[in-house]
Each structure stands twice: as C-alpha cells, then as structure tokens.
Structure 1
Amino acid sequence: MEIKTLRRRHGNIANITVEKKEEEDEQPLSPAARLFHAPEFNCYIISVIGLKNKIKPDEIIQGIKQTLIKHPRFSSKLVNSGSNNRQEQKWVRTNVVAEDHVIIPKFETQDIENANADAFLESYVSDLTTTPLNTSKPLWEVHLLDLKTSDAENVAILKIHHSVGDGMSLMSLVLACTRKTSNPDEFPSLPYQNQSSSGSSRLMPGSVGDSRLLWLLMALWSAIMVVLNTVCDALEFIATTLFLKDTSTPIKGDFRLRKCKRMCLVHRTVSFDDIKLIKNAMKMTVNDVILGVSQAGLSQYLKRRYGEKKKKTVDQEESIPKEIRLRAAVLVNIRPTTGIQDLADMMTKGSKCRWGNWIGYIVFPVSIALHNDPLDHIRRAKSIIDRKKNSLEAALTFIVGKMIIKSLGVQRAANILHRALSNTTMTFSNLVGPMEEISFYGHPVTYMAPSVYGHPHALTMHFQSYMNKMTISLSVDPTVISDPHRLCDDWEESLRSIKAAVQKRGSTQ
C-alpha cells in the first residue's frame, strides 16, 4: 500500500515536471504577435548594419550561438494547431542550427559592375521584402554581405518577423549582442534622458500652505487636460477608422489598388551634433527637432511633386494645395524600461524581463506648409508633441487593441486597424542608440539603419542615433514614391536651413 502511494506521488511529481517543461517549451502567441501574422499585417523588421572591417563569418556564427539563439523567441518556431475556426498559434522551442539562419550570398562581379555598390545593396534589401521567412524554423535571418559601400567596408542585414518582438526590444536585444570597442567586456551605454522639470514642480514663492494649494490646483488642472486630450484623441481615432481620411497626396498609397509587394529601403546618415545644436538652442527635445525637420522636408518634397504634376498640364508656379490633411502613425514604446543587461540575462540565465510587442500608436498631424521662417516647422511640431504628451492615446490604443483581439478575434481586429492606418499617410519611429562605437561580434559598427514593412503605408520614416550620427531610414512603396533619395535630400537640406536659422538667431540675439 505504501509502495503504491509512493509510486502515485512520484507519478504526480513526474507529471508536474513534464507539464512545467511543456509550459516552458510552448507559449501561446500574444494578441499583438497574432495580429502581425494576419494577412493585412505580415510585418517584418529589417536592420542594415554597416561594418568597418571585412566580415569574418565564423566569428559571427560563433557569437550567434553563444547569444542570440539562447533567447526564447529566437529558438522557437511558430506552430499552428486546431481547426480553421479555432486555430491556436504558439511558440514551440526547437533545436536551432545557427548556420541555417546565416546567409552568405555570392555575388557575380558583373552584378556589381553594372550598378554601384550602394544601389546593389538597396536592390538586395528590396529583394528580401518579397520573400517570407520559412515558418518551419525560428523567424529570423542574418545576411552577411562581402560588399564595400560608400559608408561601410561590409554589411550585415538582420531580417526578423515583427511577431518576435517590437522595434525597441529587438534593437535592445541586438545591442545586448554587441560590446564597446574601447572595452570588449562592456555593454553599450545609452544616453540618459533627463526628464525636464514640468511646470507643476516650479512653485511660486509663498507660504508652505500656498505652495501645496498651488501644487494641488496644478495637478488637478493637469489631470483634467489629460482626460480631455485623451477623449479628443480617442474620438479622432474612431473617426479615422470610420470615415476620416487623409488628403490624397503623392506620398499616400492606396493599398486597395496596390499590386506591387516589393518595398524599397534606403538610408541617409546626417550629423547628430547638428540636431543637438538645434535642440539646445531652441530648448526642445530631439523628437521635437526630428519631427519638425521631417515636416519641413516633406513640405519641400511635396512642393516639387505638385510642381512636376502641374508642369505636365499647365505652366504654373509650384504650389501646395491648402489645407492638406496628412497624418503619421507615430509608434510609442509603452513597456516598462528594459535595460541591455536585462535582455543579455535572457540569453544566459533567464530573467523576468518582459518580452513581446508593447507598442501603442499616436496619430500625429503633420503640418505641410512653406514657411518663411524655417524654425516655424519645429515650433509647430513641439506644440503638437507637448499636447500629445498630456494624453493617454498610446496606452489607450494598446489596451483597446488587445481587447478587440480577444473579443472579436484577430481577423476583425486586423481589419479595423488596417482601415484606421490606411486612412492615414505614413509611419514614424525613432530609436536611441549607443553613444560610443560598438562592435557586432568583433566587427566595429559604422551605422545602423532599421526599418519595417508590411503595414498599409507607402512611407515609413525611421530614425536611429549612433555616436555622433543620425541615420534616416525610409521604407517606401516604389510605385508611389519612386525617388526616395530626393526625399532624403529634402530632409537633409531642411536640417541645414533650420540649423542656419538657429545660428543666425543666436548671433542676432
């Protein structure tokens, strides 16, 4: 009797152990990850990394074995189970062969002779957007190109399905695989972002009682403004989903008529010191300056496009139609702060670091106009950003999105979000990078140019800082925007004109 009881207990322990192992080896997809696998949002993240030295594939493969494939998402494949009506999607741990995910293409000399190396790289990356990843393996690839371009000796390309994680977590994970070139044992350090003092913290002189009363009144007023702004933003998002469409412009694609599945990805590197100079002189944030310069660049680009269109019909001066409604879906990270060390721990001993897609959206109205004073562009951007900061729009879109997926299902949620985004014009994103030079598995990095494709926008603008540089990455539908380099030229020229206006303003003062 005692032996049977003992066996029964051991059997229960064994069952618990097996169940626990199955829970660790199998995890259901999060609502956001399921959304990214819907036909309307088969999204991928591509990051082009310029390297200072010639690639040594063996070193990179060995480094991936020691880091990346130890991460749960990079060692799990997507498995669909159940019927069509109740299909379940889950991540299942699998044995990963790093060599199966590292692609080293061989180029014909004639291919590069017929086009310069930069154009060849753009064509190669564009080709990657036409082929999906193999779902029988974990959803990521690393391409190593022995190709010397104008700004790098060789190039590495990371292609990852968006369901694996959001841009912030994936970029942090990539940085966790890098080290400082000045100290190979240290992780990169990101700039500390000081939060500027808000008006509520600067109290007027007076008694303690007066200060407390003033503080309470300001806190109450701030709370009222947050509620009002959130309600207004929620109503605008609902209206956008139902009927409120952006103006049809030369940069707005119509995905109902879109037949081309190829996207074109280009990048341009500018001085981050110029951006910081404007930021400090105007007492703004980096995001204020980037959005302001983007507004100026888009205005110049649209001026040219409308001018070219009019010249084909009537010989008129270049002009932009008045009252253009052009809005961007700005991606906002709402996850708790995740350090590089936390993500490195996930690849070694595991941690409580939250992984997945924790992103919300803000609908940002882009001001398209030709101002006499170029600084008006960044003043306009700052005023909108300041109002958006006093709103819970990003958190609301994240929470409501999860609720819609759980209540209506992935397909209906995808249709709703697809309709809302299709009624806007573009996507905008920005990531903060290391302040010092880093190495990617022993290879010093010259630039990082991440971008995303698969969502219903013909234009995505992404900004990545690194050392004293800022890289602008454009992902465009070539049937809508056939000249993305001209848009980069306009952005760069707008940065120069705004910098010159700031310097002139400073010398005058």
Structure 2
Amino acid sequence: MNAGSGSRFVATPPPNLPLSERESAETEWSEEPMSPTGRLMEDVGVHIVAMLGLGIPLNLPVFRAGIEKELLPRYPRFSSIQVMDDSTGGKPRWVRTTVNLDDHIMVPKVNPTAVASDPEKAVEDYVAALTTVPMDRRRPLWDFHFLDFPTSKATSTMVLRIHHSIGDGMSFMTLFVASSCSTDDPSKQAAMPPPPKRTGPIYQRQPRPPLSSGKALLMWAFSYLVLAWHTLVDGVLLVATVLFLCDPRTLFTRADRGRKAHLCKRFVHRSLSLDDIKFIKNVVNCTINDVLVGVTSAAISQYYFRKSGDINTKKICLRSFLLVDARPVSSRQTCVSKVETGNRFSGLICPFHIALHDDPLEHVRRAKRLMDRKKNSLEVMLTRLVGEFLVKYLSVKIGAFFLRLFLTRTTIMLSNVVGPAEHITLCGHPVVFMAGSVYGQPQALTVHYENYGNTIEITLAVDDVQFPDCHQLLDDFGESVRLIKDAASLHIVK
C-alpha cells in the first residue's frame, strides 16, 4: 500500500548550506554522467538493502517531511532517473525529475498471524520477497518500506532499497549522518568515529628519509621493490581469476556455479559488542578490520566442520571479494555539509582458510598478516583502474561480463562500513540498529559489518535455498567472537 497524499516534490539544495556551496550544488545537480562503476552496478543489477530499527512507532507524516526536507535535497540522485544520452554515444546520464513520494513510500499490510507468531521472521520474509521484485526504472531507483510492528530489537522497522548505481554504502552512511541529529543531544549532529591514522586510501607512500641516512634510504627504496612485486603478484591473480582460477567447491559455493542464480536472498543480522572487538584488537595489536576478517574465518570454519562432518584438518582456502572504500577517510567525519554521491569503492581478493586451530586467536593473527600484506600492494587501485578501463574504452557489457566472471570464481563477498559513533535520530525517529547488505551479486554468501554506536551489526545475505539454516551460521559468528575474546583474555593472563 502506498502512503501519502499524492504530492510531488522537486528537490532543491538544503537552505542551511553556505551560499557558495548552494549555488555550486544548484549548478552541479542538474545533470551528470553516470560513472564507470555506477554503470557496472547498473548492468550487473546490484541493489543495496538497509534495515533500520526504529525506537518509536512509525509517524508517517513526520518521516515523510524529513525525507522531503533532508534526504532528497542532500542526495540529488534520489530525484534523478537514468537517461541514455545520444550526444555521448548512448552513455547514460543522471537527469533530474519530479519525485512523487507516493511511488516510493510503502506501508505494507503484513499477515497479522505471521507477525504475532514470529515478528522477526515476518520482517525477514518481507525483505526476502522484496529481492524478487524489480524496481520501476521510470522512476528514481529507491523506495522506503515501513513495517509498523514491534520486534525484539525495535518498535518498528524501516527498509530502504536502493539500486547500487545511485551510490555506495559510505555515501548513504554520510547522508544519514548529515540528515540526522544525535539521539542524546538533538541540537547536535551525530558524530562519526575518529579517523584512523592514515588519511588516504588503503596504501600510502612512505615519506623519503633524509639523503644522509643511508640505511633508512636503502630500506625506503627496497620497500618500493616489495610494493611492485606484491602488486605484480596480485595483478596476475586477478587476471587468473577472471580467466580460469576458481575456488574449490564447498558448501559455501553457489550451487549453480555461475549459471542462473536463485532469485531470493535472505538477510539475517545480529549485534556484536564493539568493546569486545576492540579488546581483541588491542591484544593482537591489529585493526578492527583485521579482527572482523579473523572472526569471519573462524565462523565459516566452525560452520563448515559442523555441517560437513569433515574431520580432515587440512586447510581449505576460499577467497572473498573484499570491498574497500576509495575515499579519503576525512570525508567520513561529522560535519558533512555536502554529501558526496556516487560509487567510489574498489576491492581486493581476501583469502580465508577453513581450518581448526587450537588457539582461536590464530584466526585473527592470520588475518592481520594477510591485511598487512595487502596494504603493501596497489591491488585496490589496480582493480579500480581495470574496471574503469573496461567500461570507458571497451563497453559496459564487456566490463560487466568480466566482473560477473570474477565474482562467480570467488566464494564470499565481504564489506565493512563505518557508521556513527553514537545513536542517531533520522527524520524524527530514533534509530536503534542499522543492518545493511546487498543483493544481485553472484555469490551465495555475503558478509557485511556495520558499526553503530557501541555495537557492530553483522548482516548475512544468503541464498535462501542453499542456506536454510542461515541462523546457525549467524550463531557461529557470535560464538567465534566469544571464543576469540576468551582466548585473548587468557593471553593477557599468561
């Protein structure tokens, strides 16, 4: 059921922007070409799903007013459609259009019996069914779905579905922060986590030491040789993956191995303690991302050995495509006066070893060594450049073909989005949790982490047929955090 009064809305830049930025926004937001990455997402058909638990019952007029006042003006692609531009050889462009909010806001009637018996499953079933419904391309490619009944974690649930060609997870996260306020102090904007030590992409060049320091200068020069070697190896593996290199078949491999995918994706999620993750990080002296990669390796290992009954402890190597935000980390900070649109992400191959370890901390240690190695490579930049080259100089069809081929030969998609450091109130509704993921990608399993306040929400997007016991797999992630934390505590005692 659509909600609202049938009003139409033309987005304009928010009035609180400085005059210079407002004039610039009015000029830039009229039309713009679609980026190569956006065109790839368009052709592959990847969509983003964000599930937000609300702390109060739905107040539709208030939320609707917030969408009109905050979200639409700040994100012009919410008010744009894709139009083929004959003057540029048929390349698509974003063109502004009038938005009828009734086409984008839904308050469905969910079976009351299903809600009464298991409200969490009712939400899951609704979102899973949503992945089988195509979006109307005559309108901007986004929609809100409000499930106005309580679950164990929230009073009501908002589901935002967006086509990935409009933007990526980080651009939408900064949009939410820019359009919201702190729940604890409504007079302030919510704070993003403090930036990491680096200020640029995953790899940064080391400053050259003084010429008088012979040994340091020699090590600096040697580091560039190592960088070149690692980049060459990673580049060869990327090409080999596209051409012939496949992961071994396991119960995580998509059943049809690259042919027609199952239409339905199911999303399950739960909260992990950010303090527990930080505790493990400090013990191992690594990053939060290293811990999450290690937890993922431990969880899929635990699930595999229980499910398969395999008693052979020989390591099995499965690879994931790890998404990496290519923006400077400074763009994640609190005061976001102008939200950056579009897709600015790349990726790298992140191997996981399915193995049994006497010390659960070994999963994190291995993850740290792996990520340290990846930080000494230009693989992220290379992946992005190759994708843009294929789209710009060959065609989007060829680029999408190679992307699908690459993804079908890896087993898992993995991502981690940095969220607000405190709870936010969005469009007049306090948000108690955020759980995001994607669908449309070839892999049968996608693991997505998203920190929010003092928690990290893990969301699994699974093939609904291949993983009927997906909640057991989700339990393995929580159990893996507990086991690794206990091992870290014993490590301190020793």
The residue that corresponds to 1:163 in the other structure is 165
The residue that corresponds to 2:76 in the other structure is 72
Quick one: distance in 2 between partners of 1:454 and 1:357? 16
Name the aligned partner's letter for residue 105 of structure 1.
Answer: P
More helix by share: 1
Quick one: distance in 2 between partners of 1:319 and 1:214? 50
The residue that corresponds to 1:127 in the other structure is 129
1:67 Cα deviation after fit: 1.5
Quick one: distance in 2 between partners of 1:103 and 1:345? 28
Quick one: distance in 1 between partners of 2:114 and 2:287? 44
1:338 and 2:331 matched = yes
1:365 Cα deviation after fit: 0.9
* CA displacement, residues 364-421 of structure 1 (integer Å, 9 cap, x when unaligned): 1111100111111111110000000011101111011101111210111111111111
1:481 and 2:462 matched = no
The residue that corresponds to 2:266 in the other structure is 264
The residue that corresponds to 1:239 in the other structure is 240
Change (3 A) 1:283 1:74: same
Change (3 A) 1:409 1:342: farther
SS of aligned partner of 2:475? helix
Name the aligned partner's letter for residue 133 of structure 1.
Answer: M
Do the aligned partners of 1:69 and 1:98 also contact (CA within 8 Å) in 2? no
Structure-to-structure mapping, 1:85-96, within 5 angstroms: 87-96=90-99
* CA displacement, residues 130-188 of structure 1 (integer Å, 9 cap, x when unaligned): 11211111111111111211111111111110000111112211222221012223222
1:21 Cα deviation after fit: 9.0
Aligned to 2:63, which of 51, 55, 60? 60
1:184 and 2:189 matched = no
1:486 Cα deviation after fit: 0.8
Aligned to 2:318, which of 316, 326, 340? 326
1:340 Cα deviation after fit: 5.5
The residue that corresponds to 1:36 in the other structure is 41
Quick one: distance in 2 between partners of 1:408 and 1:338? 32
The residue that corresponds to 2:364 in the other structure is 378
Do the aligned partners of 2:290 and 2:371 also contact (CA within 8 Å) in 1? yes
Count residues in correspondence: 463
Name the aligned partner's letter for residue 403 of structure 2.
Answer: L
Quick one: distance in 2 between partners of 1:140 and 1:496? 38
Gaps of 5+ in 1: 1-19, 308-317, 347-352
Change (3 A) 1:153 1:403: same
1:335 Cα deviation after fit: 2.1
Do the aligned partners of 1:200 and 1:218 also contact (CA within 8 Å) in 2? no
SS of aligned partner of 1:247? coil
SS of aligned partner of 2:78? helix
1:57 Cα deviation after fit: 0.9
Runs of 4+ residues deviating >6 angstroms: 20-23, 196-201
Do the aligned partners of 1:177 and 1:344 also contact (CA within 8 Å) in 2? no
TM-score (norm 2): 0.88
Change (3 A) 1:340 1:193: closer
Do the aligned partners of 2:313 and 2:355 also contact (CA within 8 Å) in 1? no
Change (3 A) 1:35 1:181: same
Change (3 A) 1:507 1:402: same
- Tell me whether 258-267 or 279-288 shows the greater mean CA deviation: 258-267
Quick one: distance in 2 between partners of 1:296 and 1:80? 46
The residue that corresponds to 1:214 in the other structure is 215
Do the aligned partners of 1:176 and 1:340 also contact (CA within 8 Å) in 2? no
Aligned-residue sequence identity (percent) comes to: 39
Aligned to 1:395, which of 372, 375, 381? 381
Do the aligned partners of 2:83 and 2:93 also contact (CA within 8 Å) in 1? yes
Change (3 A) 1:321 1:246: farther
Change (3 A) 1:200 1:163: closer
1:82 Cα deviation after fit: 4.8
Do the aligned partners of 1:64 and 1:98 also contact (CA within 8 Å) in 2? no
Change (3 A) 1:342 1:507: closer
Structure-to-structure mapping, 1:134-149, within 5 angstroms: 134-149=136-151
TM-score (norm 1): 0.86
Change (3 A) 1:495 1:150: same
SS of aligned partner of 2:42? coil
The residue that corresponds to 1:151 in the other structure is 153
Question: Which of the pair has more CA radius of gyration?
Answer: 1
Gaps of 5+ in 2: 1-24
1:269 Cα deviation after fit: 0.8
Do the aligned partners of 2:258 and 2:408 also contact (CA within 8 Å) in 1? no
Do the aligned partners of 1:77 and 1:93 also contact (CA within 8 Å) in 2? yes
Change (3 A) 1:459 1:417: same
Structure-to-structure mapping, 1:360-439, within 5 angstroms: 360-439=346-425
Do the aligned partners of 1:47 and 1:451 also contact (CA within 8 Å) in 2? yes
* CA displacement, residues 29-85 of structure 1 (integer Å, 9 cap, x when unaligned): 1111111121xx1010000001111111111100110111112111101223559x9
SS of aligned partner of 2:165? helix
